[in-house]
Amino acid sequence: MIDGLGAVQDVLVVGGSSEIAHAIVAELAVKRRLRRVVLAGRSMDSTVSSMRSLMSDVDVQAMSLDLTKTGSIAATLNAGWGNGFDVVLLTAGVLPDQSRAERDPAVAVDAALVNYVGQLEAGTAAMSKFREQGRGVLVVISSVAVERPRVDNFVYGSGKVGLDYWAIGLADSVDGKAIRILVVRPGMVRTRMSRHLPEAPMTCDPSDVAKAVAKNLVRGPSTVWVPSRLRWVMATLRHLPRPIFRRLSPTGAEPSGNAADPR
């Protein structure tokens, strides 16, 4: 369980190959109380081996989980829950080629399953377990893209909007209880998923997201922006007239296929 100093012992990561998730786990391990990390996703063996080499004193395990196989996700998590988790990270995400996603229903649906529907099932299952054990923190990696649709990534953003909306409502529903929801809205983050794109203003690193999570894990606001000043930038951009905002949206540098697949 999370102790009085905020040290975490058991973590489940949905989206086990996510660089943001790995940075968060590393940050949580700083207090040297972390004992078990379960990485859930597809083809986790090499990822588990890499994390084990960095955290020799932590029990790192793999859980096979495909977020596109809805209907079976909850059963998989329930079967692997064991003695429980202090923290569950929802960090899965896929950035589809926007042009392909506008024309190919299969690409659009795959993105929606990974970015929203699959994580909705996983998060709902985790919340049921948290209620049984009477405690827990669910960390949901959303995106600043939820603030307003852009022409270059609205398929990706639409999935994040659904996840964000669900998580915000969930946070309100457990307010005052021993279960906490932390919604994190990063701007552009330097990861495999974004490396083909030109950097946006205020681009950050996975470690910046990790520090924000660690700082707000057990207390503080239930929604945080990374970097924090993005909150005020988006408060302005949200109210720009659509023709003006449309011209601000980048339209180039599309990926070929999925740029990254941290499921």
Select which of 81, 116, 130, 156 is catalytic.
Answer: 156
Q: Catalytic annotation on 116?
A: no
Rg, C-alpha atoms of the chain: 18
Taking the C-alpha atoms of residue 145 and residue 98, their distance in angstroms, rounded to an integer, is 14
Instruction: Measure Cα distances from 90 to 104, 124, 240 in Å.
Output: 26, 11, 31
Single out the residue of 161, 118, 123, 157 nearest to residue 140, CA to CA: 123
Taking the C-alpha atoms of residue 96 and residue 111, their distance in angstroms, rounded to an integer, is 7
Q: Which phi and psi angles does 2 have, rounded to 5°?
A: -75, 125
Single out the residue of 180, 170, 173, 174 nearest to residue 139, CA to CA: 180
Both structure tokens of 207: 């470690």
Catalytic residue list: 156
